[in-house]
Amino acid sequence: MIEAIISGIGFGLVLTFITGPVFFALIKTSIEKGFHAGLSLALGVVMSDMVFVGAILFGSQYFDISTKDKTIAGIVGSIILFSIGIYYIFKKADVNYNSSIPKKINHAGYFLKGFVMCIFNPTVLLHWTVVIGVASTQFHEGIHNRLLKIAVMFLTILIIQFGLDAVKAFYANKLREKISPKFVHRLNEVAGIALIIASLVLVDRLVTHFIFSAPAVS
C-alpha cells in the first residue's frame, strides 16, 4: 500500500504541471481574477479528472488487453510525453497583469471552465491512459489487493493534484505583482523536464529495466 501512495505522489507531482493549457489557465485566472476563482477552476479540473479515472478504470474491465499491447501503448505514450516535455521547455508564457481582481466571483462559471477545459482535452485523457497503463504494469494481475492499490494510487494522485493546484492559485494571487512572464516560463521548463523524466521512467519500467525490474508474469 505504501508503494501505491508513493507512486500516486510521484504521478501527482508530475501531472499537476503537465496539463498544458489548464496549468496556465489556473495561473492566469488566479493572477487576474483572484484566489477563489482559481480554486473554483481547480475544483472543475479535479472533477473532470475523476470522470476520466472512473471511465478508464471501469471501462478497462470490459477489454482484455495483452501485455504486448500495454507495452506498445506505454512506449507510444512515453514518446508523446517526451515530445510534449521538449515543447514545454521552449514554450513562452503570456499573462495579463493589468486587470483588476473583481469583488464578485462566478464560482460556477470558473468550475465549469475548468471541467470543460479538461473533459474536452485529449491530452489529459492521454495522460490518464498512460498512468493507468503504468498502474496496470506495476500492480499486475496476481498482486494481493491489486484493485485497492490502484484505487489508492489514483486517489493519492487526485489529492496531490488538487492540493498543489490550490497552492498555485493562492501564491499566484498573493504574488501577482512579482510573478513575471520569465518566472512562468521557468515553471514551464520545470514541467517539461518533469515530463521527460516521466517518459524515461515509463520506458525503463516497460523495456530497458536499468533501474526498475520487469514486472512478474502472473
Residues 112-125 pLDDT 10s: 988 887 776 666 76
Choose the weakest-confidence range: 34-38, 127-131, 193-197. 127-131
Per-residue pLDDT tens digits for 152-161: 888 888 888 8
Q: Which residue has the higher pLDDT, 79 or 66?
A: 79
**Amino acid identity, position 135:** A
Helix 146-174 × helix 35-59 angle, to 10° = 160
Compute the distance between CA of residue 95 and CA of residue 19 in angstroms, rounded to an integer. 17
Say whether pLDDT at 133 is over 60. Answer: yes
Query: For position 40, what pLDDT does the model report?
Result: 92
**pLDDT value for 43:** 92
pLDDT of residue 98 exceeding 70, the answer is no
Q: What is the pLDDT of residues 176-216, one digit of tens each?
A: 767 677 777 777 787 678 778 877 877 887 787 777 666 55
pLDDT of residue 30: 83
Long-range contacts of 213-217 (CB under 8 A, 24+ apart): 215/137, 215/138, 215/140, 216/140, 216/142, 217/67, 217/140
